[in-house]
Homo-oligomer: A and B are copies of this chain.
């Protein structure tokens, strides 16, 4: 089960604080997406609200998913001043979050 080379997904699960309005969440989502225009190593961005029905999401409300071509690309992003500035805006609005990177791999039978 060899892992995919190159592509790295950077996934953030977030739970916004109860007093953060939908309008503010929309602004923060757009600002997150705008990092695509500023940080060259960030290749794509998708977001979505929790729509799960199993109730195994432990209160997380949103997923933010970015793609990079390498771990070096993720490191560039993490260290980039625009990301640092954005994180300082986002994190105070969150009750909790988890961020994980992985190389999406297909199982061949």
Task: Please report the C-alpha to C-alpha distance between residue A107 and residue B53 in the assembled complex, in whole angstroms.
Answer: 25
Q: How large is the interface on A (under 10, 10 to 19, 20 to 34, 35 or more residues)?
A: 35 or more
Chain B residue numbers with a CB within 8 Å of A99 are 52, 54, 56-57
Q: Taking the nearest CB of chain B, how far is it from the CB of A88, in angstroms? A: 15
Q: Taking the nearest CB of chain B, how far is it from the CB of A24, in angstroms? A: 13
Contact B63 A51 (CB under 8 A): no
Q: Taking the nearest CB of chain B, how far is it from the CB of A14, in angstroms? A: 10
Q: Taking the nearest CB of chain B, how far is it from the CB of A42, in angstroms? A: 13
Q: Residue A106 contacts which of B26, B45, B71, B74 (CB distance < 8 angstroms)?
A: B45
Candidate in A3, A57, A100, A104 with the most chain B CB atoms within 10 angstroms: A100
